[in-house]
Structure 1
Amino acid sequence: MPLPPIPVVNYTDLTCAHPMRRQQAIQTLGQALETIGFLILDQGPVAPEVVRRAHQTAAEFFTLPDRIKGQYDADHYPGQGGFSGFGTEQAKHYTCPDLKEFWHVSYRSFEQAPAPWPTEVPQFRPIMTRLYQQLLACAHGLLEACALYLGQPQSWLADMARGGNTILRLAHYPPIPLGAPAGSLRAAPHEDINLITLLCEATAPGLEILSHDGRWLPIQATPGQIVVDTGDMLQNLTNGLIKSTTHRVSNPRQGNQRRLSMPFFVHPRPEIDLSPHAAFLERTGGQPRFPTMTAETYLNQRLAEIKVTPVG
């Protein structure tokens, strides 16, 4: 039996003034997140040219010598993002580190000094700032649509995210090195921690989601599209009504090309209570199925599990 296609939602329908078109798009979005945990967003507000230039700029940074990249190590800039070297992140329950390096553009990169911005790539800050701003606007529109699907006030989820330390991750997967540990992957199976994730098209395939019958479904956005998935925080808040789906980045099956991707992890403010909301208990069995804790506590626990320095 073929795997079901990932639903496609038109962003302009989500935000249009036509009530029926908008309601249908909201319903498609909500059902996708409730049943699959993933969707593809079309015609969003993120300019393809900005994405293209961001890929080009990120590639310029990641081709710098390791000694230069290491000057921007995230450990030197607590709470403000920066660079994390190859093999520093490890998925929960996995013994091999992921085969990637990455840079975090933190919300606090724009508010606090000295924030890490690589001077060797002058266009890095303006391009990544523009991409961050466009993705943030898109994310708020998606959170508003999701809140309406859940029967809550339109601003319910978007208000939680205002002022949260949302992260733009620039992820570089170099060619698989000789001697990589057996079983290691570019990104081992995991679920995202945050509320929702937006992922512009990557430069090479590899993203796969785990289907209900245990098979891996490849998913790849085309230029102008954004892959959207829901994270554990939204699953916790809705008592499991909205799914957080396991996904991975597989190693290349042909050739050994490098890969760049730019996930945008949308986080609530640290003090937000993620306890299962009473409105969803009846729809999910009547009892809380997920823990009671704040976003800050939840995030720090999860980051410790994957060996990543907190950015909030």
Structure 2
Amino acid sequence: MTDIASVSLAQPLETIADELGRSFAEYGFAVVRDHGIPQELIDEAEAVSKAFFALPDSVKRAYKIEGGGGARGYTPFGTEKAKDAAVFDLKEFWHVGRDLPAGHPLAEFMAPNIWPAEVEGFRETMSALFSAFETAGGRVLEAIALHLGRPRDFFAASVEDGNSVMRLLHYPPLGPDAPEGAIRAAAHGDINTITLLLGAEEAGLELLTKQGEWLPIPATKGALVINVGDMLERQTNGRLRSTTHRVVNPRGEAARRSRYSMPFFLHFRPDFLIEPLPECVSADDAAPPPEPISAHDFLMQRLREINLA
């Protein structure tokens, strides 16, 4: 049994902020219920996602943007590798990002979305889900701000028009021709500020504890699994942990069926300077705090490491 926090976002944030903070400091993860994303929207998004991934490979590959680093559209099976991994992950995915109006000062950092014409309702459903994820993520960030002793709207300006990405993930049934040692998602840390994950109720998601043990992350249907990304870890000088995690291959009957999930990678604005908060820096720290870096430069540095840029 783990003591990863499981909290309701329907509670006053002041009553759950420190429980979330404790869990993020120890595990880098927490589970959130009553997050406000309607179940009907989740169900519709799952159906639309499955419809896209069921399309012929040639149709899906037409939506791969060469040179785009996977930031928008389709990324085929066998493309992404975790940092330092020897083989690719057993997954394919689609990315939806922020739509910015023409002439927006941050437009140079965010490519326009593309939408599959073959799937009815794809654009409308995924745009609605992106917005709902952003609202839920903003509420989690308010709780984190309170835990850090900051005003609840502390993060609002830094994530406004942030380079957030919603990923629709498909892990196909495991085949006999998978490379030796390949798993659905090799051990990795997330680059962004926080990640909100729908679809974690099926077994397989595990985190690496401070003690070096792999721990399954329990989640009930409809709940969000939240984890800290590298950007927030950097800003809090390691006080909140970006924890290594993975998705292991199932056994038995589960290995013969697909797995689907929808993570939302909430990002700072590209021009936001990530620098350690003064209250998270101490003269007793084992290492000096990291140097300030813009969110965009940090993102590009990490994308190169995982074969996406």
Question: What aligned pairs does 1:1-312 form with structure 2 within 5 A after superposition?
Answer: 3-13=1-11, 16=12, 22-75=13-66, 81-108=72-99, 115-202=113-200, 204-255=202-253, 256=255, 257-282=257-282, 285=285, 288-309=288-309
Displacement after TM superposition at 1:228 (Å): 0.4
SS at match of 2:59: helix
Does 277-286 or 90-99 show the bigger shift? Answer: 277-286
Decide whether the 8 Å contact of 2:96 with 2:113 is kept in 1: no
- 1:114 and 1:30 mapped to 2: Cα distance? 35
Decide whether the 8 Å contact of 1:208 with 1:218 is kept in 2: yes
Displacement after TM superposition at 1:27 (Å): 1.2
Displacement after TM superposition at 1:114 (Å): 6.0
Decide whether the 8 Å contact of 2:201 with 2:219 is kept in 1: no
Judged with a 3 Å threshold, the aligned counterparts in structure 2 of structure 1 residues 283 and 39 are, in CA distance, closer, same or farther, namely farther
Letter in 2 for 1:172: H
Does 233-242 or 101-110 show the bigger shift? Answer: 101-110
Does 48-57 or 89-98 show the bigger shift? Answer: 48-57
Decide whether the 8 Å contact of 1:80 with 1:108 is kept in 2: no
Displacement after TM superposition at 1:264 (Å): 0.3
- 1:263 and 1:82 mapped to 2: Cα distance? 15
Decide whether the 8 Å contact of 2:198 with 2:263 is kept in 1: yes
Total equivalences in the alignment = 300
- 2:70 and 2:306 mapped to 1: Cα distance? 17
Letter in 2 for 1:30: G
SS at match of 1:209: strand
SS at match of 1:72: coil
Displacement after TM superposition at 1:220 (Å): 4.0
Q: Deviations over 1:285-305 (max 9, x none)?
A: 286333321111110010000
Judged with a 3 Å threshold, the aligned counterparts in structure 2 of structure 1 residues 286 and 218 are, in CA distance, closer, same or farther, namely closer
- 2:201 and 2:115 mapped to 1: Cα distance? 23
- 2:215 and 2:152 mapped to 1: Cα distance? 32
Q: Deviations over 1:118-163 (max 9, x none)?
A: 0100111111111111110000111111111111222222221111
- 1:38 and 1:64 mapped to 2: Cα distance? 34
- 1:76 and 1:110 mapped to 2: Cα distance? 22
Letter in 1 for 2:153: S
- 2:185 and 2:100 mapped to 1: Cα distance? 25
TM-score, normalization by structure 2: 0.91
- 2:229 and 2:112 mapped to 1: Cα distance? 30
Displacement after TM superposition at 1:240 (Å): 0.5
Displacement after TM superposition at 1:109 (Å): 7.3
SS at match of 2:186: strand
Displacement after TM superposition at 1:222 (Å): 1.8
SS at match of 1:298: helix
SS at match of 2:90: coil
SS at match of 1:194: coil
Decide whether the 8 Å contact of 2:191 with 2:231 is kept in 1: yes
- 1:208 and 1:180 mapped to 2: Cα distance? 21
- 1:217 and 1:281 mapped to 2: Cα distance? 29
**Runs of 5+ in structure 1 lacking a partner?**
17-21
Decide whether the 8 Å contact of 2:165 with 2:266 is kept in 1: yes
Query: 1:19 maps to what in 2?
Result: none
- 2:101 and 2:93 mapped to 1: Cα distance? 19
TM-score, normalization by structure 1: 0.90
Displacement after TM superposition at 1:214 (Å): 2.1
Q: Deviations over 1:88-120 (max 9, x none)?
A: 100001110011000000113787886310010
